[in-house]
Chains A and B, each alone.
Chain A
Amino acid sequence: MIVVLLLLHGLLAVALLGAITHQALSVLPLAATNGRRTFIDRFRGVNAPAYATPIVVLFVVTAIGGALLYPQYRIDVRPALEDMRNAAANGVFEIKEHLIAIGLGLLPAYWQVWRQPSGAEAASARRALTWLLAFFVWWGFIVGHVLNNIRGLLP
């Protein structure tokens, strides 16, 4: 059961990572182009407001999955890391739990700025809040995968 939940959590995280990365790149200021659309142009050329609600839903559902997996981590993984004297691994996970919690709190304002009409202030708030959430998601994703595979990664 825990393996199924872990896989589901990972798959949801992939979807969230993709969505937030599309949206984060879409709010970057446009650079002048010579008319040719690059891969990056096409990657960021999405309907960014349409991503806001799915990102909120994915963030919440993925965080709930992580919260359900957390007891297993606390009982099995963290003591193993302590036995390995790997304080840094526990540290990056602790930062992950803080960032995901802070991200959950940020979601109402994030959702609101993406629903209000676009203006100069809304644009800068959208950009900043989206990049903050993207940082949280990327941190959580990378740390989750490294810790999940840490016994194979470390000598």
Chain B
Amino acid sequence: MTHPGLKIFSMLFGVFYIVAFYFDLALFRYYPEARQFHWMRTDGIGVVILWYGWIVTAALASAAVAVAVPRPVAERLSSRWVWMVTALVVLVTLIYERRWFV
């Protein structure tokens, strides 16, 4: 019923998400005032939302790796890595976002 690639996906999703956030690698951008999606930065149509694009970037990247990793390798991966990597990503995120509070 379950696939070992799910562990790979979850372990890498946070990493790819935070990389996409830090390096501004949103797959697409949404401009809520104009109600328009754009692939590239588009000036003059109001504020931009990148969050949707970061999530899709992270989902596609982690899904691609999860599919590419051979099943025996994925099966050997301990579930421990999933939460340890994610906890580290959260810690890095919280440290980086201290900038709002100083």
Residues of A near any B CB (own CB < 8 A)? 67, 70-72, 74-75, 78-79, 87-88, 90-92, 94-95, 97-99, 101-102, 104-113, 115-116, 121-122, 124-125, 128-129, 132, 135
Contacts and interface: CB of A to CB of B under 8 A. Distances in A.
8 closest cross-chain pairs (CB), A and B? A91-B100, A105-B13, A109-B10, A71-B32, A125-B79, A128-B83, A108-B6, A102-B14
B79 A121 contact: yes
Q: Is the interface of B mostly helix, strand, loop or mixed?
A: helix
A132 B86 contact: yes
A115 B99 CA distance: 39
B97 A101 contact: no
B32 A75 contact: yes
B58 A109 contact: no
B43 interface: no
Given A91-B97, A91-B101, A106-B13, A101 B82 contact: no
Contacts of A94: 97, 100
A95 B94 CA distance: 7
Contacts of B52: 67
A105 B90 contact: no
A102 B89 contact: yes
Nearest to A110: B10
A116 B1 CA distance: 10
Contacts of A122: 79
B80 to A, nearest CB: 6
22 contacts: A72-B32, A92-B100, A95-B93, A99-B90, A101-B51, A101-B55, A101-B58, A102-B14, A106-B13, A107-B10, A108-B9, A109-B6, A109-B82, A111-B6, A113-B79, A115-B1, A125-B83, A128-B80, A129-B83, A132-B86, A132-B90, A135-B90
